[in-house]
Amino acid sequence: MRSITTLDELRAARLSLDGTVGFVPTMGFLHEGHLSLIRRAKEECTHVVVSIFVNPTQFGPQEDLFRYPRDIERDLKLIAPLGVDLVWMPTTEIMYPQGYQTWVEVEAMTRPLEGAVRPGHFRGVTTVVTKLFNAVQPHKSYFGQKDAQQAAVIRQMVKDLNFPIEIVVCPTMREPDGLAMSSRNVYLDPEQRKAATILFRSLSAAKELYETGERNAETLRKRMKEILASEPLAQVQYVSCADYDSLEELTEIKSKTLLSMAVFIGGTRLIDNFVLE
């Protein structure tokens, strides 16, 4: 496994990889969710490239860019046994040199949900992912279902910009009590950590209703809100029952559907979702 920083090193190393290349972009502070993406890439591709870069342009001015957990040594130790060929850790100056002024923006589907409460977030994500794709030139790239809207936006971008890259979306990894794994879970104190299972419990309650035949989207949204309201530490930002592809809010469930939510537990913003097939 080689760790590299500069674009020249990356390009030279990439040239030496023949066969298929699987790419896992990350912001570091890796957990089992990231490792599952790397394992899947390893199963499906000849070579695997991982990037670690905390992308400043996807954080809003009031968000946690400077607090975002970082531990490169720990990350490299976790990746080492997985058979990764290259770990690329570019600097901010490499990704956004002085005078930078080019952006990639997906339109309609970045407006609801995360886009509505995190203005500019997806512009930062699609721009950095485009730059990472251009540099790494992978055949396949791996994203987690936990960031459902991000995965949908990247799929749309790859289609619209004719990137010859297959986007593979892998299942959300969960703690034994259902909490979706996230680098931000380290912000939670023990009481908040307990309260954080409310997202999973609320999604599970809505799914149960769906499984007993309920198809009214508002009834499912109400059920999720009721359960969330039972947790005093939870402050709901949004709760959604939307079409899986367009992300438009539904009246009635007729096809693949995304139940999703963003909830503050104390000062920590958590997101989670379930897909109703």
**Which residues of this protein are in contact with ligand PAF, per CB under 6 A?**
25-27, 55, 58, 125, 128-129, 147, 150
Residue with tokens 């199963």: 43
Which residue type does 166 have? Answer: E
In the bound state with ligand PAF, the residue whose beta carbon lies nearer, of 90 and 221, is 90
Distance CA 237, CA 269 (A): 9
In the bound state with ligand PAF, the residue whose beta carbon lies nearer, of 184 and 201, is 184
Distance CA 238, CA 139 (A): 35
Q: How far is the CB of 71 from ligand PAF (least distance, A)?
A: 15
Q: How far is the CB of 7 from ligand PAF (least distance, A)?
A: 17
Q: How far is the CB of 88 from ligand PAF (least distance, A)?
A: 12
Catalytic residue IDs: 34
Q: How far is the CB of 226 from ligand PAF (least distance, A)?
A: 30
In the bound state with ligand PAF, the residue whose beta carbon lies nearer, of 128 and 242, is 128
In the bound state with ligand PAF, the residue whose beta carbon lies nearer, of 220 and 247, is 247
> Which is nearest to 106 in space by CA: 53, 153, 175?
153
Distant-in-sequence, close-in-space partners of 101: CB < 8 Å, separation ≥ 6: none
Name the burial class of residue 150, with classes exposed (0-12), middle (13-18) and buried (19+) by CB atoms within 10 angstroms of its CB: buried
Residue with tokens 């809003």: 60
